[in-house]
């Protein structure tokens, strides 16, 4: 439903963990901080999450744009970053069930086809968690490559 992301509205401190390289067997993680602020748009059928991310090599701005389709009871989520300000990433599409949001897209990583998965976990707690994973084998196996842990500001 269109209220699925209401848990995220407001300001947050965010702890990030991100794999240095994706889908190559890398086990080295970078950890860094950030802030996030989310608010409703589209009369409540969408929202914007504005992020300031302090990567090890410098600050980065990005937004998640989310829109709810009442006819399909699903969400689409796009990512737009200051690194590529004229390019929206392929949207992940999905829904929440039992407090877990699962969203998927077919995309490419360095020219090869992959499946991308976003998970929203702990959404009914005061400490939600977002995870991004990728699969090079159509979803048979997943590599989690980015984790964001939210704490109210």
Enumerate residues 6+ apart whose C-beta is below 8 A from 44. 2, 3
Residues 118-150: pLDDT tens digits?
999 999 989 999 999 999 999 999 999 999 999
Evaluate whether 20 touches 30 at the Cβ level (below 8 Å).
yes
C-alpha to C-alpha distances, 27 to 51, 73, 122, nearest whole angstrom: 25, 37, 25
Q: What is the pLDDT of residue 122?
A: 96
Evaluate whether 14 touches 1 at the Cβ level (below 8 Å).
no
Residues 15-70: pLDDT tens digits?
999 999 999 999 999 999 999 999 999 999 999 999 999 999 999 999 999 999 99
Domains of the chain and CATH, by start: 6-152 (2.40.128.20)
Q: What is the pLDDT of residue 100?
A: 96
Q: What is the pLDDT of residue 1?
A: 78
pTM of the model: 0.94
Evaluate whether 90 touches 108 at the Cβ level (below 8 Å).
no
């Amino acid at each position: 439903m269109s209220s699925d992301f209401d848990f995220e509205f407001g300001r947050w401190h965010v702890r990030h963990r991100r794999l240095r390289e994706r889908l190559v067997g890398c086990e080295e993680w970078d950890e860094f901080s950030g802030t996030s602020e989310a608010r409703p748009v589209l009369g409540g059928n969408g929202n914007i999450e504005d992020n300031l991310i302090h990567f090890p090599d410098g600050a980065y701005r990005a937004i998640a744009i989310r829109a709810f389709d009442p006819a399909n009871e699903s969400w689409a989520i796009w990512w737009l970053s200051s690194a590529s300000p004229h390019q929206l990433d392929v949207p992940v599409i999905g829904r929440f069930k039992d407090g877990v949001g699962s969203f998927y897209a077919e995309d490419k990583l360095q020219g090869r086809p992959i499946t991308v998965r976003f998970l929203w976990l702990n959404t009914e707690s005061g400490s939600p968690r977002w995870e991004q994973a990728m699969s090079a084998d159509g979803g048979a196996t997943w590599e989690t490559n980015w984790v964001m842990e939210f704490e109210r500001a």
